[in-house]
Amino acid sequence: MSYTVHEVAKLSGVTIKTLYHYQKIGLLMPESIAENGYRYYGDKELEQLQQILFYRELDFSLGKIKTAMQNEPSRLRCLCEQKTLLMARQQRISRILHTLEEAITYAEKGAAMSKEKMFAGLNKQEWEVALKPQNEYLHENYSYSIDMGTIDADAMNEKANEASDFITFMSNALRNGVSVNANEVHSVIDKHIQFLQRDMKIDAQSFAAQSKFLMTDEFHRQMLEKQQTGLSYYICFAAESYAGK
């Protein structure tokens, strides 16, 4: 069955001008061109157009789409690869939408959103931007720099989510007057340390030292104090209590 350019445009939502451009650059050729210049597309061309549109959803340039389709031996394989890429994008967008929804909720309440939650779902480049102020501060004051080249976006997002849960609990505990010696506080600190141990050598004593640094260093203390007044002190004292039990 053949379709006119107007029918293809109506079916696909692609403009006639775009279809002409695809033909001009050799990305999507009509099945046939009549003597009067009318262009006709067959089922094969519609399938190709569908693949092109999938690639466009993945932000592929037209040049890259052309190369991908020329080098792809199987339509099924191409579709499967596109599905994998789109599912990965869907997961990332879902994380970002969740973060956006939380940002809206905090904004409506006039409350400050935790820095960890603010960046949940970011990609590598976005994390580099987010960490730049802290990295510059560490380099200027402690001659230490975060290695941006080793940033794993998925790992950073996981750490941000875990840190957000930890900070939220500690902030609520402080707000509700829970003692730094309480078993529930110690339990959460223990769980937090276990998570940190996946990437670093850290125990109760070193976590307490780390918490003290965050309390005494102006830059990092302010990051915590913006979440809840007194939070940096509360975490420090709770960590010391946990280490001394």
Q: Per-10-residue mean pLDDT for the chain, 245 residues long?
A: 89 90 92 88 89 81 81 68 68 68 71 56 57 68 62 67 84 91 93 86 88 85 83 92 86
CA torsion sign for 93, 96, 102, 105 is negative
Half-sphere exposure of 111 (CA within 13 A, CB side): 12
CATH topology of domain 134-243: Globin-like (1.10.490)
Instruction: Note the pLDDT of residue 190.
Output: 93
* Domain 3-71 architecture: Orthogonal Bundle (1.10)
Q: In the structure encoding, which two tokens stand for residue 9, read together? A: 């445009």
Instruction: Note the pLDDT of residue 164.
Output: 78
Rounded to an integer, what is the distance from CA 33 to the centroid of its chain?
46
Is the CB of residue 223 less than 8 Å from the CB of residue 217? no
Indicate left, alpha or beta for 180 from its phi (over 0: left) and psi (-120 to 50: alpha).
alpha
In whole angstroms, give the CA distance from residue 96 to residue 106: 15
In whole angstroms, give the CA distance from residue 11 to residue 154: 38
Instruction: Note the pLDDT of residue 147.
Output: 60
For residue 205, count other CB atoms closer than 10 A to its CB.
13
In whole angstroms, give the CA distance from residue 127 to residue 134: 11
Instruction: Note the pLDDT of residue 235.
Output: 92
In whole angstroms, give the CA distance from residue 210 to residue 231: 14
Instruction: Note the pLDDT of residue 90.
Output: 67
